[in-house]
Copies of this chain bind each other. A is one copy, B any other.
Amino acid sequence: MAGLIDQKLTALGLSLPTPAAPIANYVGYVVTPGFVTLSGQLPVVDGTVAIVGTLGDTLTVEEGQRAARICFLNVLAQLKAACAGDLDRVTRIVHLRGFVASTPSFAQHALVMNGASDLAVAVFGEAGRHARSTVGVVSLPAGAAVEVEAVAQIA
A residues near B (Cβ < 8 Å) are 22-30, 32-35, 37-40, 54, 56, 92, 94-97, 99, 101-110, 114, 117-118, 120-121, 128-143, 147, 149, 151, 153
Residue in B33, B129, B135 whose beta carbon sits within 8 Å of that of A99 in the complex:
B135
A67 to B11 CA separation, bound complex (whole angstroms): 44
Q: A24-B117, A26-B96, A117-B25 are in contact. Are A39 and B131 (CB under 8 A)?
A: yes
Q: A32-B94, A94-B32 are in contact. Are A132 and B102 (CB under 8 A)?
A: no
Residues of B within 8 A of A110 (CB): 23-24, 141-142
Residues of B within 8 A of A34 (CB): 32-33
What is the CB-to-nearest-CB distance from A39 to chain B, in angstroms, rounded to a whole number? Answer: 4
What is the CB-to-nearest-CB distance from A121 to chain B, in angstroms, rounded to a whole number? Answer: 4
Residues of B within 8 A of A136 (CB): 101, 137-141
A30 touches B95 (CB 8 A): yes
Residue in B33, B94, B99, B107 whose beta carbon sits within 8 Å of that of A143 in the complex:
B107
Residues of B within 8 A of A121 (CB): 25
B26 touches A132 (CB 8 A): yes
Instruction: With CB as the reference atom, state the residue of chain B lying closest to A120.
Output: B25
